[in-house]
Amino acid sequence: MGWTGRKGRKGWMGWMAANRRLMGFGFVVGILMLLAGVQAGAHHSFAAEFDDTKPVKVTGTITKVEWQNPHIWFYVDVKNADGSVTNWAFSGGAPGQLMRRGITKDALKIGAEVVVEGFRAKDASNNGFGQKVTFPDGRNVFTAPPPSQQ
């Protein structure tokens, strides 16, 4: 007869069941850690993506708003001198940060005419850091804190 532990066969089976539960818990914790790592990796500093020596100011129409972590993104169609349209994508602050300052998703309405001031992306694409949004009536919405606070 083989070894059965102090409590016999029932003790061995109980140990195996506990081991399976522990492995399942470890698997769940591992998956959660991977997901947290993806989210943390998605967040970036201002300096990693934007150039504070290249300010940008565009006037156009809001076409889309993505209100999600780690930063909001809003899109503006800008009419060029030749009549063509360029779509700009602007990164803003974190949704929670904006809501604490009284700025909700409703502040950036699709179809609204706006002037966006901020900084260009380092890759010279039509992406930017949208620091300030001004509406025709003069209202300002600061969608992100100054780069020095990023």
Average pLDDT score over the chain: 81
Same domain, 78 and 53: yes
Provide the domain count of the chain.
Answer: 2
- Position with higher pLDDT, 100 vs 1: 100
Please compute the mean of the pLDDT values over residues 71-93 and round it to a whole number.
96
Full-model pTM: 0.67
Tokens of 128: 């930017």
Query: Residue 41's pLDDT is what?
Result: 44
Query: Does one domain contain both 70 and 96?
Result: yes
- Range(s) of the domain holding residue 30: 1-42
DSSP state at residue 7? T
